[in-house]
Amino acid sequence: MTAAPTIRQVLLTCPLDCPDACRLKITIERGADGLEKAVKLTGDPDHPITRGFACAKTVHYPARQNHPERPLYPMKRVNGELTRVSWEQALDEIAAHLRDVLARRGPDAVLRYHYAGTMGLMEGHHIHGFFRALGAPELDETICSTAGTEAWRLGYGPRYGVLPEDVAHARTIVLWGINSLSTNSHLTPFMTQARKNGAKIIHVDPYLNKTGRYADTHLKLRPGTDTVLVLGVAREIMAQGWADETYIREATQGFEEFRAEAEGWTLERTAETTGLSAEQVAELARAISQDSPTYIRVGYGMTRHEGGGTALRAVTLLPAITGDWRRRGGGCTLSTSGVFHLNRSRLGAAHLIREDAKHVNMNELAGALEPSAGFEAAFIYNCNPAVVAPDSAQVIAGLQRPDLKVIVLEQAMTETARLADYVLPATTFMEHADIYTSYGHSWLGYNPAELDAPGETRPNSWVFQQLGERLGLTEPSLFWTVDDLLTEVLDTGHPFLEGITPEALKAAGTLPLKLPDGWLPYADGAPTPSGKVMFTPAPVYCPAAELNAEYPLRLLTPPAHHFLNSTYGMLGNLTRAEGTEPHILVHPADQGELVGGQLARIVSETGQAVRRVRITDEVQPGVAVVEGSWWGLSAPDGQSINAVTAQTLTDLGGGSTFHNTRVRLERAE
């Protein structure tokens, strides 16, 4: 017998909730115990989007996967302590509880809660079918993208956009409400290429972060005023005769209504509301329409406000005024997910969704966990709501209700898992097979299971199949393998999928969709019901709840550079010993009694949290920033920043309002 090689390298698609969906090169080592482990991770140099580098967060994935506190065995809470049990016992007891709840209360008492911990079609989507077969309430997955998705749908239909490969053709790049250097870092080389070709980069964001420093110009607008900035810019473009009247006539509908709405927003009035100068507004209008093609990359930042859907809709309509959709590299991107024309009719047993199904908006979890909502079982997977959901202190209180059984499927001992009645240990993307799309490019991925599952970890899909069998469920799609699912989703006949068979995808690992060469998705209109880009209803500015003496600051809580939402918050936890912890950024004008480097209590209408203060003019007066959904465990007071955010929803899509919390700061030391 020859000795097995001790080191090998594999290529896999990153499963995390990020537009880049990178192709990762992973080094796997076989230890003296004969077990294989991932020890190093970088980007695939041959993948045209990943380009050989992994981000500052996912390079730590091996440490996360091999973390000593990773749950490897099922656990049950016994006398207050999580105690190891067998899978048989855990599954039998959970099934018995479900049977009892279903018999007494019916499926409306069973809550599922999840998000995009894995973007895999099997482990992230298809598994919801279990709950649909039970008839349990639908979870509206609104925490992140629905305000933007709905805004885009109104104007343009499905989410097509400029692909990264075309960005080098742009001459003006506007990064609008996106901290792309942190949150979409594989776009950077394409922008740098555009810059080498002469492009100028503008960042529109209420505070100065990595992206603002990278840009040529940073426009520090007042949060929640993007709609006004667009109307002012549009008015100036029209006043100067820079609008593309041909495109507007041929490809859009309802522009007169939009024009009328913009009429009142003179440069001066726009400047006054947005906090920018009239010159800055005029220059933005000039750059966008004159130094074209203009590529606008919008993120989700501006959507996390009460008027956030309208704001995003307004921004994304700019290329329909300038006609940039007709130029390569011109136009806008929110997400590229619309290009994946998969057959989703039975994905997650979608065909079982009842018209009269009850719905739970996931931003309103704190409310759903109140006794009056009537849930007796909560299944949580691919998500860490004790940290990431708004009003997290109430979420935590709800999860601790004695009359609610909480079942958490996890890869990490998150704060949510620590509150569970049952913790079920899940495999990672290296340990299970799955299929991946992307929302930042147009490559489809398939990962085989490269590593043996450590301990007794299992894929989510295995857990739900086991429970399905115990409950006597017969819906065939619940028992599909990843191969079955792959065959199903690729079976559409759509030209973008031409030649992408299950065999071809599995052999290649990743394949680009067959998009038409030089594709300009909205050059002649849009796949909306009218066939046109829709300017109606005209975006109308709706000011946010005003600041006052009690709550004089608006708090934004955008993602951190080194985390992926709360994932890697565990590492943050470890590094706290080295002095790393979440800070609140406060402008010198708002400093008052606060002392830089000392603790402040952040008080909102919802709750309180304590953070260390950093005084900086990176923020603007009246605005404070806490970056990152750090685990509460990493914070001085053990609280997630979401202890202060509210369940308030956006104007479109029932979305989250994480960047719009009125607060006051008090000295905590």
Tokens of 157: 């239909």
Closest approach of Cβ 534 to ligand MGD, in Å? Answer: 22
Footprint on residues 139-168 left by ligand MGD (CB under 6 A)? 143-144
Pick between residue 57 and residue 171 the one whose CB is nearest to ligand MGD: 57
* Residue 144 is a binding residue for Mo ion (CB under 5 A): yes
The footprint of Mo ion on residues 570-629 (CB under 5 A) is none
- Applying the rule CB under 6 A, the residues between 304 and 343 that interact with ligand MGD are 304-305
Residue from 292, 382, 442, 648 that binds ligand MGD (CB under 6 A)? Answer: 382
What is the number of other CB atoms lying within 10 angstroms of the CB of residue 598? Answer: 11
Residues 6+ apart with CB under 8 A from 3: none
| C-alpha to C-alpha distance for 617 and 366, rounded to whole angstroms | 35
From 92-100, 409-417, 445-453, 533-541, span contacting ligand MGD (CB under 6 A): 409-417
Judged by CB, which is closer to ligand MGD: 28, or 424?
A: 424
631 forms part of the interface with ligand MGD (CB under 6 A): no
- Is 299 a binding residue for ligand MGD by CB under 6 A? The answer is yes
Q: Strands 294-298, 331-333: parallel, antiparallel or unpaired by DSSP?
A: parallel
560 is a site residue for Mo ion (CB under 5 A): no
Residue 248 or 564 having the CB closest to ligand MGD = 564
Q: Contact at 8 Å (CB) between 232 and 204?
A: no
Counting contacts by CB under 6 A, is residue 18 touching ligand MGD? yes
Give the shortest CB-106-to-ligand MGD separation in angstroms: 26
* Residue 301 is a binding residue for ligand MGD (CB under 6 A): yes
Q: Are 322 and 242 in contact (CB under 8 A)?
A: yes
The candidate with the shortest Cα–Cα distance to 408, out of 426, 433, 395, is: 426
- In whole angstroms, how close is the CB of 33 to ligand MGD at the nearest point? 25
Q: Which of 58, 65, 179, 647 binds ligand MGD (CB under 6 A)?
A: 179
Q: Which does 330 bind (CB under 5 to 8 A by kind): ligand MGD, Mo ion, none?
A: none
Q: Scanning residues 438 to 467, which ones bind ligand MGD (CB under 6 A)?
A: 460
* Least distance in angstroms from the C-beta of 225 to ligand MGD: 7
Distance CA(163)–CA(336), nearest Å, equals: 7
Beta carbon nearer to ligand MGD, 442 or 642? 642
Let me know: does 424 contact 168? Beta carbons within 8 Å.
Answer: no
What does the alpha-carbon distance between residue 98 and residue 330 come to, in Å, rounded to a whole number? 53
The distance from CA 259 to its chain's CA centroid, rounded to whole angstroms, is 33
Q: Of the listed pieces 143-151, 168-176, 340-348, 522-530, which binds Mo ion according to CB under 5 A?
A: 143-151
Q: Which is nearer to ligand MGD, 465 or 557 (CB)?
A: 557
Per CB under 6 A, which of residues 474..503 are in contact with ligand MGD? none
Q: Rounded to whole angstroms, how far apart are CA atoms 224 and 234?
A: 18
* CB closest to ligand MGD, residue no: 301
- If we measure between CA atoms, which residue out of 235, 176, 241 comes closest to residue 538? 235
Stretch that binds ligand MGD, among 187-195, 293-301, 510-518, 530-538 (CB under 6 A): 293-301
CB 251 within 8 A of CB 530: no
The residue assigned the tokens 């594709």 is 519
Using the contact rule CB under 5 A, the part of the chain among 138-146, 309-317, 380-388, 633-641 near Mo ion is: 138-146
DSSP assigned state of 518: T
Query: Which one of 130, 152, 207, 422 is in contact with ligand MGD (CB under 6 A)?
Result: 207
Q: Which DSSP string corresponds to 231-268?
A: HHHHHHHHHTT-S-HHHHHHHEE-HHHHHHHHHT--HH
Q: Which residue has the tokens 């960047």?
A: 659
Q: Which residues, in sequence order, are CB contacts of 121 under 8 Å at separation 6+?
A: 342, 347, 434, 435, 436, 437, 485, 489
Q: Which is nearer to ligand MGD, 94 or 564 (CB)?
A: 564
Residue with smaller CB distance to Mo ion, 144 or 315? 144
Residue 641 CA, distance from chain mean position = 17
- For the chain, counts of helices (H) and of strands (E): 21, 27
Q: Which does 123 bind (CB under 5 to 8 A by kind): Mo ion, ligand MGD, none?
A: ligand MGD
Please, what is the minimum distance in Å from the beta carbon of residue 124 to ligand MGD?
7
Answer with the entry of ligand MGD, Mo ion, none that 183 interacts with (C-beta below 5 to 8 A by kind): ligand MGD
Our CB check for ligand MGD shows the closer of 330 and 632 to be 632
Q: Which residue number, 282 or 298, has a Cβ lying nearer to ligand MGD?
A: 298
E-strand stretches of 455-573: 510-512, 533-534, 553-556
Decide: is 383 part of the binding site for ligand MGD (CB under 6 A). Answer: yes
Does 566 engage in binding with ligand MGD (CB under 6 A)?
Answer: yes
Report residue 407: phi and psi, to 5°: -115, 120
Q: Distances in Å between the alpha carbon of 274 and those of 222, 271, 356, 545?
A: 5, 5, 43, 15
* Residue 324 per-residue DSSP state: G
118 sits near ligand MGD (criterion: CB under 6 A): yes
Q: Which stretch binds ligand MGD (CB under 6 A): 175-183, 436-444, 510-518, 572-580?
A: 175-183
Residue 50, amino acid: T
Nearer of residues 139 and 284 to Mo ion, judged by Cβ: 139
CA-nearest of 18, 522, 535 to 254 is: 535
* CA-to-CA dists, residue 407 to 97, 144, 167, 348, angstroms: 11, 23, 44, 20
Q: Which of residues 309, 558, 607, 653 is near ligand MGD by CB under 6 A?
A: 558
Q: What sign has the CA pseudo-torsion 382, 384, 388, 392?
A: positive
Name the packing angle between helices 87-105 and 460-470 (round to 10°).
60
| Interacting span for ligand MGD (CB under 6 A) from 110-118, 233-241, 271-279, 349-357 | 110-118
Query: Choosing among Mo ion, ligand MGD, none, which partner's interface includes residue 251 (Cβ < 5 to 8 Å by kind)?
Result: none
Please name the residue that has the structure tokens 């005769």: 241
| CB-based contact 187:297 (threshold 8 Å) | yes
Query: Does 226 help bind ligand MGD (rule: CB under 6 A)?
Result: yes
- DSSP run (H or E) holding 629: none
Please give the size of the binding site for Mo ion, defined by CB under 5 A.
1
Stretch that binds ligand MGD, among 83-91, 161-169, 301-309, 507-515 (CB under 6 A): 301-309
Which of 586, 576, 594, 585 has its CA nearest to residue 635? 576
Q: Binding pattern to ligand MGD, positions 503-542, x when CB under 6 A?
A: ----------------------------------------
Q: Which does 558 bind (CB under 5 to 8 A by kind): ligand MGD, Mo ion, none?
A: ligand MGD
Considering only the stretches 125-133, 139-147, 149-157, 254-262, report the one whose residues sit in contact with Mo ion under the rule CB under 5 A: 139-147
- Asked if 388 touches ligand MGD (CB under 6 A), the answer is yes
End-to-end distance of the chain based on CA atoms, in angstroms? 66
Q: Which amino acid is at 153?
A: R
Looking at the DSSP bridge assignments, the partners of residue 556 are: 625
Q: Which of residues 571-630 bind ligand MGD (CB under 6 A)?
A: 629
Neighbours of 7 (CB within 10 A): 11
Residues in touch with ligand MGD (CB under 6 A):
17-18, 57, 115-118, 123, 143-144, 176-179, 182-183, 204-207, 209, 221, 223-224, 226, 299-302, 304-305, 381-384, 388, 409-412, 414, 426, 460, 556-561, 563-567, 629, 641-642, 645, 658-659
Residues in touch with Mo ion (CB under 5 A):
144
